[in-house]
Amino acid sequence: MSLCVPKICVLNKILIVWMTVVATLSCLGHSKSEFEAIFNFENSNSDTGRFWAAFLAQPGPYGMTYFKRPVGRATDGRLIVDFLAQALGLPFISPYLKSIGSDYKHWANYATLASIVLLPNTSLFVTGISPFSLAINEVPDSDCCCLELKRLPSLDIFGKSVYTFYIGQNDFTSNLAAISVGGVKQYLPLVSQIAGTIKELYTLGGRAFLVLNLAPVGCYPSFLAGLPPSELDAFGCSIAYNKAVVDYNNLLKEALSQTRGSLPNASLVSLVYVDTSSVLLELFRHPTSHGLKYGTKSCCGHGGGTYNFDPQVFCGNTKVINGKPVTATACSDPYNYVSWDGVHATEAANKLTTLAILNDTFSDPPFPLEQFCDLHGIA
């Protein structure tokens, strides 16, 4: 059966972060979970194939660990969104725009590789920024002309959903050079738009929001390559970049606090700041304490050395350098690495981060999911 493009409606410039819309969410030990869906709009950290459905096919060795082939994920295996779905007893979520082999009974993942919060002012082919900005994401409504109604969630789904946000990394890293000039306050529009989106979703019936903060990009091999040792801390991470991350996350946390207090019936709303940055920072700094071996070194890359990252040739690609073709290949043990390709985390790191989210150690205020559902184990 062919799947044609549905009629679209716009949800007031949805600028969310990490969305997966899932219908009829059922957890182990309960006849029905309190939540029937998870809305997720994000970037490559949870893109399950939307970008690759629209543009070039993804090469190997992406997907090598769990799926054994490329499946549109920018890592070797599963993402945080995949592990979260497994923990809640859900299937993996099909990416929006992928018409072949998708199951939209559990809705679609709107996350897109290289997406940003703000509207892009350039082309994908110039800077690599995705045209699928969160400012222009659209969601099909009940009048969709091509999808069967039984394949769509119920009309009252907004009040029965968890909204997860994990966005802003590409906006942040695309302008790192300006941090010393304008300071982190230049990113106030990002946190303001995220807060504004939460308010809009509240008016639609949303009551549970999880906002994951910005990752410690100062530990990413792609940003460390070429930096002098004097700019690194005792763990080999960029002092300046991670300080900017801390400043940004403080802005985000304060904006969420103000938003939480401004919502009507605030006591009935769960607006949670999730400090996944601290989780990843711990993994980068002390990988061996968590069953890993390498923190700031890429599994998939070229050049070996401290970072195994060459900005001239990315994971899975081949390029002629100094007259010779070179290929960025993957290590044989990605389960020992925090960084997959210098930009994204490995499946192993994604799993550890998800476990931290589920046990509620890094949530403010606390949001123990086990109070709403009996969680499945993550394998």
pLDDT tens series, the chain, 379 aa: 333 333 333 333 333 333 333 333 333 333 345 677 777 766 556 554 444 544 566 788 999 999 999 888 889 999 988 888 788 777 776 665 444 444 444 344 444 444 444 444 444 434 444 444 444 444 444 344 344 444 555 667 778 777 888 877 766 777 666 665 456 777 777 888 889 889 988 998 889 898 999 999 999 999 999 899 999 999 999 999 999 899 899 999 999 999 999 999 888 899 999 999 999 999 999 999 999 999 999 999 999 999 999 999 999 999 999 999 999 999 999 999 999 999 999 999 999 999 998 888 899 999 887 776 667 778 8
Catalytically annotated residue among 47, 76, 310, 341: 341
Q: Which residue has the tokens 């969630």?
A: 153
Q: How deeply is 124 buried, as exposed, middle or buried, from its count of CB atoms within 10 A (0-12, 13-18, 19+)?
A: middle
Residue 344 known to be catalytic: yes
Residue 217's pLDDT is: 93
Separation between Cα atoms, residue 326 and residue 340, nearest integer Å: 19
Catalytically annotated residue among 76, 94, 106, 344: 344
Separation between Cα atoms, residue 254 and residue 155, nearest integer Å: 33
Residue 96's pLDDT is: 53
Rounded (to 5) percent helix, strand, coil in the chain: 35, 15, 50
Torsion sign across C-alpha atoms 258, 262, 263, 268: positive
Q: In the chain, what are the domains?
A: 8-286+347-363 (3.40.50)
Q: pTM here?
A: 0.78
Catalytically annotated residue among 44, 115, 238, 363: 44
Q: What type of residue is 285?
A: R
